[in-house]
């Protein structure tokens, strides 16, 4: 069998082969062979797609490649493994170790896995009684061992509860009940593990680049080479209808590119020589020759995949609370069982209490609801970096917006350049562009873009630039100290006098422009009037957030009062502060939190980073500064504020689903418990009903993932 690497991340390789070659026997054989290799942590084979996912230590990548490349199917080995699995339905744990130990392939939850369970039910009545008894004891051993291990480590958890229920059935000589209980527990855990893994895997792979090989231009010749062999600096050729597999810069060609995956924008954009392009986007029309800057794990889209796959470490309070509650319930189940035994002298009824535990479903449904919400968010351009931020998004009662590039357009423009004190207009624009080109803030890009459009050459004559985290840049040019930034930075911090020009500055500011001040050697040499139009969606977003329960909405900006007032009025924001320094923004956030508020901060610049870090949830836009996106907890990948409204609704819906699942778990299991105590249900029937409830709430938690994708404004209607 030939395997090709289609997805390569540190510690995670996905191979693909011809699905026609992947029979049920191959699934079992290949899974067993891979899991027997000590360097492989986990392996999953999917017969439908011909996909093989292998997890391992990043240092062992070459050994994994050799193991997969050297695989040869062995029919006898496959039969032996399948026979082993038929006699022992594995008790699958939540961790990777348990998965490794039992060798459960995700694909087995399909026809092969279901047939295995059905086959046991059909064959069991035909077996001699001593064989059924031996099988019941054998199948009980993993559960008993897990319970004893938990007790040995001082934990009274659901493993102990399961072991007690099975142990009591065996002690009573009810081997049929013990066998049914173990089968139901195994089936439940089997489905729980699959749904959890499938949810996480689907979330990450919804963004993954799935390309086997690429065309590379070397000189005048094009070669078709495996993606894994591609090196930085090589020229990749991508034609109409093909995915771009790398991050890079266009060196030749002209094309329209669909960047929905990265930006959320449905309309294809033009890309030509000098343009940056990203892995996961698609060439709709034309051809591009791209010089590779990042490939594989280093591309932006795979960086997104990494943080999604690692996101479970950022657990929500609801998840932690659910897990703690699940463990706290277990001792009460034992106490109730003991009380029933004391009052009724019926081991049968005492066992019934142990078979109906609340903890399993509680522990499973909450993380699944969170993972599903994260996946739904990713499908709608809302990248949430962990479960805890879903809960914080739902609970926040205050939203704080930065102005420039957040409430206003991400591409402000230079409307006027006004020279002062003998400098020319060209001098002012060139000097400002020379300094601003080093920083990714939208205003800085506007200045650089204006200079380029006017054909002005702003050569690098200055020394190293210094970004002062207070709305300004400082450097030295031809021996003179040069400053560009806000009025606060230039006139208050750096003590450059405005003098007779103050009236002129105020006049332009009152017209609604943001003003950049340029000074050299303590003399104001010019101002740049920045026109920053309001985002068209801003007023509607402010109204929608209020309708979703946000009590206060504030705007913070370093601009002058007149500019801030004009933007706030147009946005429908009643609270705002002007002339705010970056450190002051963080202080505003902390004061709000000290008053008992939960705060969402939305910003896009380097200077917003302290406030983004201080907030309960930091939100950045796709075209914000790299640092802002890095420290943010949520990234609006479509660069549209409507995604913030979607994120809020998504989070509230997910939490609502968690609470509703909790009520369902408590209600149904309490009913089962009552029927068991009344002697109306057999222990095996209780185990079946309890586990069906667990699977049911798990599927409800995953319902949006199982349904067709919704648009960004739809969401799930759980309210």
Q: Cβ-count burial of 634 within 10 angstroms (0-12 exposed, 13-18 middle, 19+ buried)?
A: buried
Q: Residue 179: is its pLDDT beyond 80? A: no
pLDDT bucket at 691, cuts 50 / 70 / 90: low
Q: What phi, psi does 353 have (nearest 5°)?
A: -65, -40
DSSP 153: T
- Express each pLDDT in 123-133 by its tens digit: 666 667 777 78
Where would I find the H helices in 51-91? 61-69, 75-87
What is d(CA 42, CA 663) in angstroms, rounded to the nearest whole number? 35
Q: Residue 716: is its pLDDT beyond 80? A: no
Residues 2 and 108 in one domain: yes
What is d(CA 695, CA 109) in angstroms, rounded to the nearest whole number? 13
The predicted model gives 379-403 an average pLDDT of 86
Measured in whole angstroms, the distance separating CA 563 from the mean position of its chain's CA atoms is 36
Q: Residue 400 belongs to a domain with what CATH number?
A: 3.40.50.1000
Residues 624 and 602 in one domain: yes
pLDDT bucket at 198, cuts 50 / 70 / 90: low
What is d(CA 658, CA 697) in angstroms, rounded to the nearest whole number? 9
The predicted model gives 635-664 an average pLDDT of 88
Q: Residue 173: is its pLDDT beyond 60? A: yes
Closest CA to 412 of 274, 289, 295, 557: 557
DSSP 405: I
pLDDT top residue among 435 and 463: 435
Lowest mean pLDDT among 176-180, 663-667, 683-687: 683-687
Q: Residue 275 belongs to a domain with what CATH number?
A: 2.70.150.10
Residue pair 60/113 in contact by the 8 Å Cβ criterion: no
Q: What phi, psi does 54 have (nearest 5°)?
A: -125, 130
pLDDT top residue among 377 and 296: 377
- Express each pLDDT in 504-541 by its tens digit: 988 888 777 888 999 998 999 999 998 878 888 999 99
pLDDT top residue among 71 and 257: 71
Q: Residue 208: is its pLDDT beyond 80? A: no
Lowest mean pLDDT among 29-33, 62-66, 126-130, 151-155: 126-130
Domain count, the chain: 4
DSSP 243: B
Determine the pLDDT at residue 576. Answer: 93
Q: Cβ-count burial of 374 within 10 angstroms (0-12 exposed, 13-18 middle, 19+ buried)?
A: buried
Residues 294 and 220 in one domain: yes
pLDDT bucket at 82, cuts 50 / 70 / 90: low
Q: What percentage of the chain exceeds 70 in pLDDT?
A: 71
Residues 60 and 48 in one domain: yes
The label of the residue with tokens 């729980």 reads: 192
Residues 568 and 523 in one domain: no
Residues 526 and 634 in one domain: no
What is d(CA 365, CA 550) in angstroms, rounded to the nearest whole number? 27
The label of the residue with tokens 């970056």 reads: 582
The answer as to whether 146 is a domain residue is: no
Lowest mean pLDDT among 292-306, 403-417, 450-464, 695-709: 292-306
Residues 391 and 447 in one domain: no
Considering the candidates 357, 402, 559, 604, report the single residue annotated as catalytic: 402
Residues 581 and 477 in one domain: no
The residue ranges of DSSP E strands in 486-629, in sequence order, are 514-520, 523-531, 552-556, 575-577, 599-602, 617-621
The answer as to whether 174 is a domain residue is: no
Residue pair 474/483 in contact by the 8 Å Cβ criterion: yes
Closest CA to 444 of 423, 458, 424: 458
The answer as to whether 652 is a domain residue is: no
Lowest mean pLDDT among 267-271, 283-287, 590-594: 267-271
Q: Residue 140: is its pLDDT beyond 70? A: yes
List of residues 6+ apart from 576 with CB closer than 8 A: 554, 555, 556, 557, 564, 565, 567, 568
Q: Residue 431: is its pLDDT beyond 70? A: yes
pLDDT bucket at 715, cuts 50 / 70 / 90: very low
Beta bridge partners of 51: 16, 46
The answer as to whether 7 is a domain residue is: yes
Closest CA to 651 of 394, 431, 398: 394
The answer as to whether 311 is a domain residue is: no
Q: Residue 72 belongs to a domain with what CATH number?
A: 3.30.1360
Residue pair 336/298 in contact by the 8 Å Cβ criterion: no
Verify whether residue 397 is a known catalytic residue.
no
Determine the pLDDT at residue 625. Answer: 57
Determine the pLDDT at residue 641. Answer: 92
pLDDT top residue among 429 and 662: 429
Structural domain for 55, as ranges: 1-113
What are the respective helix, strand and coil percentages of the chain, to the nearest 5? 55, 20, 25
Final residue of a structural domain among 298, 332, 364: 298
Average per-residue pLDDT for the chain: 75
Which DSSP string corresponds to 158-220?
HHHHHHHHHHHHHHTT-HHHHHHHHHHHHHHHHHHHHHHHHHHHHHHHTT-----EEEEEETT
Greatest mean pLDDT among 2-11, 66-75, 83-92, 438-447:
66-75
Residues 487 and 630 in one domain: no
Q: Which two tokens stand for residue 333?
A: 């189940």
Residue pair 234/292 in contact by the 8 Å Cβ criterion: yes
Q: Residue 475: is its pLDDT beyond 80? A: yes
Q: Whats the size of the chain, residue-wise? A: 719
Lowest mean pLDDT among 108-122, 145-159, 317-331, 540-554: 108-122
List of residues 6+ apart from 557 with CB closer than 8 A: 402, 403, 404, 563, 564, 567, 576, 577, 578, 579, 580
Measured CA to CA in angstroms, residue 245 lies from 2, 238, 466, 626, 674 at distances of: 22, 9, 36, 22, 58
Final residue of a structural domain among 95, 113, 131: 113
Residues 403 and 452 in one domain: no
The answer as to whether 587 is a domain residue is: yes
Q: Residue 630: is its pLDDT beyond 80? A: no
Task: Please report how many Cα atoms fall inside a 13 Å half-sphere around the Cα of residue 121, on the Cβ side.
Answer: 10
First to last CA, the chain: 51
What is d(CA 263, CA 277) in angstroms, rounded to the nearest whole number? 12
pLDDT bucket at 99, cuts 50 / 70 / 90: very low
3-state secondary structure (DSSP) of residue 256: strand
Q: Residue 26: is its pLDDT beyond 60? A: yes
pTM score, whole prediction: 0.54
Q: Which two tokens stand for residue 393?
A: 């998004």
- Rg (C-alpha) for the chain, rounded Å, is 31
Report angle CA 643, 646, 648 to the nearest 5 degrees: 110
Residues 428 and 521 in one domain: yes
Which DSSP string corresponds to 355-379?
H--SHHHHHHHHHHHHHHHHHHHHH
pLDDT bucket at 186, cuts 50 / 70 / 90: low
Helix (H) or strand (E) holding 28: helix 24-36
List of residues 6+ apart from 680 with CB closer than 8 A: none
Report angle CA 646, 652, 656 to the nearest 5 degrees: 140
The predicted model gives 583-594 an average pLDDT of 88
Final residue of a structural domain among 113, 129, 155: 113
Residues 227 and 93 in one domain: no
What is d(CA 620, CA 697) in angstroms, rounded to the nearest whole number? 33
The answer as to whether 142 is a domain residue is: no
The answer as to whether 39 is a domain residue is: yes
Measured in whole angstroms, the distance separating CA 367 from the mean position of its chain's CA atoms is 13
pLDDT bucket at 94, cuts 50 / 70 / 90: very low
What is d(CA 425, CA 435) in angstroms, rounded to the nearest whole number? 16
Q: Residue 320: is its pLDDT beyond 80? A: no
Determine the pLDDT at residue 340. Answer: 78
Q: Residue 455 belongs to a domain with what CATH number?
A: 3.40.1110.10
């Amino acid at each position: 069998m030939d395997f090709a690497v289609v997805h390569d991340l540190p510690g995670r390789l996905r191979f693909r082969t011809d699905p026609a070659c992947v029979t049920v026997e191959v699934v079992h054989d290949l899974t067993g062979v891979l899991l027997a290799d000590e360097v492989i942590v986990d392996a999953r084979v999917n017969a439908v797609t011909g996909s093989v996912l292998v997890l391992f230590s990043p240092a062992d990548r070459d050994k994994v490649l050799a193991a997969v490349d050297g695989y040869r199917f062995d029919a006898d080995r496959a039969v032996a493994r399948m026979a082993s699995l038929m006699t022992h339905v594995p008790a699958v744990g939540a961790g990777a170790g348990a998965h490794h130990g039992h060798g459960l392939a995700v694909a087995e939850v399909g026809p092969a896995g279901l047939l295995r369970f059905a086959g046991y039910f059909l064959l069991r009545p035909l077996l001699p009684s001593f064989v059924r008894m031996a099988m019941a004891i054998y199948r009980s051993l993993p559960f008993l061992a897990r319970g004893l291990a938990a007790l040995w480590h001082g934990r009274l958890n659901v493993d102990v509860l399961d072991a007690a229920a099975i142990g009591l059935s065996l002690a009573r000589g009810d081997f049929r009940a013990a066998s049914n209980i173990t089968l139901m527990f195994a089936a439940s855990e089997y489905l729980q593990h699959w749904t959890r893994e499938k949810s996480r895997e689907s979330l990450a792979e919804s963004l993954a680049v799935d390309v086997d090989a690429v065309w590379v231009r070397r000189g005048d010749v094009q070669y078709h080479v495996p993606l894994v062999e591609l090196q930085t600096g090589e020229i990749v050729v991508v034609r109409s209808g093909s995915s771009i597999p790398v991050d890079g810069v266009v060196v030749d060609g002209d094309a329209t590119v669909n960047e929905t995956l990265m930006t959320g924008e449905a309309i294809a954009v033009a890309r030509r020589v000098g343009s940056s392009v990203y892995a996961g986007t698609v060439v709709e029309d034309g051809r591009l020759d791209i010089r590779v800057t990042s490939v594989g794990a280093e591309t932006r889209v795979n960086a997104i995949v990494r943080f999604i796959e690692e996101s479970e470490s950022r657990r929500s309070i609801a998840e932690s609370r659910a897990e703690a509650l699940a463990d706290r319930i277990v001792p009460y189940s034992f106490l109730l069982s003991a009380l029933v035994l004391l009052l009724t002298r019926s081991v049968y009824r005492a066992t019934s209490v142990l078979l109906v535990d609340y903890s399993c479903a509680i522990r499973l449904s909450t993380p699944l609801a969170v993972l599903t919400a994260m996946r739904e968010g990713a499908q709608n351009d809302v990248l949430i970096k962990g479960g805890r931020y879903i809960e914080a998004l739902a609970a926040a009662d205050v939203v704080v917006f930065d102005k420039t590039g957040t409430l206003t357009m991400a591409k402000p423009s230079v409307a006027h350049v006004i020279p002062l004190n003998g400098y020319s207009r060209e001098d002012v624009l060139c000097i400002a562009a020379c300094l601003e080109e080093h920083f990714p803030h939208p205003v800085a890009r506007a200045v650089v873009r204006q200079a380029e459009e006017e054909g002005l050459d702003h050569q690098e004559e200055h020394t190293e630039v210094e970004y002062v985290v207070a709305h300004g840049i400082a450097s030295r040019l031809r021996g003179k100290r040069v400053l560009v930034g806000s009025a606060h930075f230039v006139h208050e911090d750096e003590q450059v006098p405005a003098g007779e020009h103050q009236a002129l500055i105020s006049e332009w500011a009152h017209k609604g422009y943001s003003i950049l001040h340029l000074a050299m050697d303590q003399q104001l040499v010019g101002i740049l009037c920045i026109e920053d139009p309001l985002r068209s969606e801003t007023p509607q977003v402010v109204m929608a957030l209020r309708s979703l329960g946000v009590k206060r909405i504030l705007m913070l900006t370093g601009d002058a009062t007149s500019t801030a007032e004009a933007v706030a009025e147009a946005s429908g924001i009643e609270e705002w502060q002007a002339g705010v320094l970056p450190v002051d923004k963080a202080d505003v956030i902390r004061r709000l939190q000290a008053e008992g508020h939960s705060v969402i901060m939305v910003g896009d610049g380097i200077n917003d980073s302290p406030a983004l870090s201080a907030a309960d949830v930091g939100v950045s836009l796709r075209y914000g500064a790299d640092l802002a996106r890095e420290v943010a907890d949520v990234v609006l990948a479509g660069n549209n504020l409507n995604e913030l409204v979607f994120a809020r609704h998504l989070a509230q819906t997910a939490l609502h689903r968690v609470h509703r699942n909790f009520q369902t778990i408590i209600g149904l299991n309490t009913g089962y418990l009552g029927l068991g105590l009344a002697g109306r249900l057999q222990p095996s029937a209780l185990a079946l009903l309890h586990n069906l409830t667990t699977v049911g709430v798990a599927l409800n938690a995953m319902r949006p993932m199982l349904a067709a994708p919704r648009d960004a404004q739809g969401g799930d209607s759980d309210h």
